[in-house]
Amino acid sequence: MNIMKKPGEIKFIQQVRLIVLLFLGILIIPNNISYGNTHAGIDSAIVEEVHFPIIIGQSKNPVLLIKIYNNQIDQSNLTQIYLTIEDSITLQDVVSLEVFFTADNEVFSSEKAFGTLLNVRNTNVITGIQPLEEGANYFWVTVTLSTKTDLLDKIILDCNKITDSGNNTFKPLPHVIVGNRPAIGFRGDSAVYNHRIYLKNPGLVTTNKGTQVTVFDMRHYKPKDAQSDIDIGTSRSTDNGKTWEPIGIAMDMGEFGGLPQDQNGLCDPSILLDKSNNTIWVAALWSHAYDQKRFWTHSQPGMTPEETGQLVLVKSEDDGKTWSSPINITEQIKDPSWYLFLQGPGKGITMKDGTLVFSAQFKDSTEMPFSTIIYSRDHGETWHIGTGAKPNTTESQVVELQDGSLMLNLRDNRGGSRSVYITNDMGKSWTKHPTSRSALPEPVCQASIINFHYDYKGIKKELLLFSNPNTTIKDRRNITMKISEDDGESWPDKYYTLLDAVVGSGFNRKDWPMGYSCITQIDGHIAGIMYGSSRSDLVFQKVDIAEVMADQKLKK
C-alpha cells in the first residue's frame, strides 16, 4: 500500500493538527490567568530588577519594581504579589520582604505600604489591598537582611504573578533577573561629633596581614569640596570586610597657623601599601586659609601654605592602627609656577622592583590641568615627579603592566571616555594607548584600576580590574566593575558587574553626585570595592571574580 501523501494533503493535515492543539491549549489554560491585554482592568504587569547595593542591617532596600498598567474598564484592587527567592542566599538571613505603592511615580518611597512578610521562604505571597489607578501603578519590593549575611551571597528575587480582587491572576511579561549584592554601608553619623559628617572619595588597600584599610574624606557639617572642615577618616577590617572598626582619623591639620578647622581642610586621599615592609602611606591635599573658597579654582602659584595647596603624607607602621604626623612633600615635587599640585584620589602601587608610585595631577602656569605620577625609590623618604601625560586631565590611577611599563588611566575633562597613557621611563615621556578615549565610557569622574593576581583552583592569571560610573551621562550612575584579561587591551562586556544603577548619595540625593570608587584584592579570587553609593555615603562590597568569569563563560 502506498502511504505517501501529496504535499497538499500534508499541509492540510498539519493545519488540522495545529487547530486541534490550539483548541486543547485553550481548554487547559485556566480562564483567570492572563499575560496582558485583558479586559479585567489590569492590562499588563512588567517586572524590572533594580540594581542597588543591599545594605546589611538596613531596612527597605529596593530590589524589584513592578509596573502594573490598568485600563480602568473595571475597578481593580491588587490583592496578592507572588515572589520567589533563590537559594543564592541563606533564607534565615532575609529578615523581611516588604512592598510599597508609589502610585504613578516610579521614584521609590516607603510612605505607603502594601504588605509585609517576615517568614521568608523560596516561594512567598504578600497580601494587601490596593486600588489601582488608571494608567501606571508602581509597586516596589524591598528586602531587609540580617547582620549575619555573607557579602558573597546574592539576592535573586523575582515576581512570577499577581492577583486582583476578582481572583484574576496575571503573569508579568518576560524579563531577566540576575540578582543584587549585599553591602556594608558607611555613614558619618557620630555621637562623638554631634553633627552630620559626609563621607566621600574612598581609598582601599589590603595589607600583608590581610587587613583591609580604607581612607576617605570626612566632611564636617556639609558635603562641599575644600576649602571646608574636612579630615581624612579611616577604618579597618580584620575579617575580609565582614565587619569594620569605628571610624577614626588618619590625618587632621587642626588649627594650623591660628586659623580654624574650616580653613585647614584635607581632601581626596590616596592610599598605598609598601609591600616590602607593610607600611601604609596616605597622600592628601591640604588647603590652608582661603576661607570658604573652592581650592581647585582659588589656589595660586607659589610654595607656601598661604599661597598654594600642599601635598602631605602620613604613614602607618602598625597595620593601620595609628598614623604619623603629616609630612609635607610639596617642596620636593611642585613647580612654583604651578597653581596647584595634588594626588589622584584612590590608591597607589608598589612596583615589582619596590618603587612606590602615586598618581598625581597639577595645574600648570596657565592653569591647564595635567595627570602625572610621583614615585619614591627609597620607601617614601624622597619623592620625584613625572611629566604631564595629557592636557586637561585630572584624577588618574596607575597600574604596572606585565612588561614592567606603567599604565595611567586618566579622568578626561572632555568627557565621554577615559584617556589611557603608557610610560616606560617613570613619566619622563608618555605614549597614547590604543584604547584611549574609546574603551572605557565615563561621565567625567574618578575611577579605580588595579592589578589582580588571580590564583584559584590551580588557575593563575594576571588580570586588571576597573570600576567607574559606566555611562557618559553627567549624573554618574551605573557603578560597574570590569575585568581585562589582556593588560587593558580589551574589557569584554560579558565580565561587567553592575553594582549601583542610580545617581546620588543616600537614596534619591541627586544634589550630591558620588561615583568615586576604589578596588582591592582580598584573596586569589575575591575583590573588594568601596564606592560612593545611592544607598549610603560609602558602601563596601565583595565580588567573586571566579564566579563572574565562570558564569559568563557558561553563557557563551
**Residues annotated as part of the active site:** 395
d(CA 537, CA 482): 22
Reduced to 3 states (helix: H, G, I; strand: E, B; else coil), residue 35 is coil
Q: Which residues are paired to 462 by β-bridges?
A: 453
Q: What do you get for the CA distance between the two ends of the chain, in Å? A: 50
Between strands 182-186 and 54-55, the pairing is: parallel
d(CA 126, CA 159): 11
Of 195, 255, 185, nearest to 219 (Cα)? Answer: 195
- Tell me which DSSP letter residue 390 carries: S
Residue 21 parent element (H or E): helix 7-28
Give the other-Cβ count within 10 Å of 207's Cβ: 19
- Are 53 and 190 contacting, i.e. CB atoms less than 8 angstroms apart? no
Region class of 72: left (phi > 0), else alpha (psi between -120 and 50), else beta = left
Of 49, 52, 80, nearest to 65 (Cα)? Answer: 49
Lookup result for grid cell 617642596: 331
- Are 217 and 505 contacting, i.e. CB atoms less than 8 angstroms apart? no
Region class of 430: left (phi > 0), else alpha (psi between -120 and 50), else beta = beta
What is the 3 state secondary structure string of 37-93? CCCCCEEEEEEEECCCCEECCCCCEEEEEEEEEECCCCCCEEEEEEEEECCCCCHHH
Q: Nearest 5 degrees, angle CA 464-CA 470-CA 473?
A: 150
- Are 53 and 541 contacting, i.e. CB atoms less than 8 angstroms apart? yes
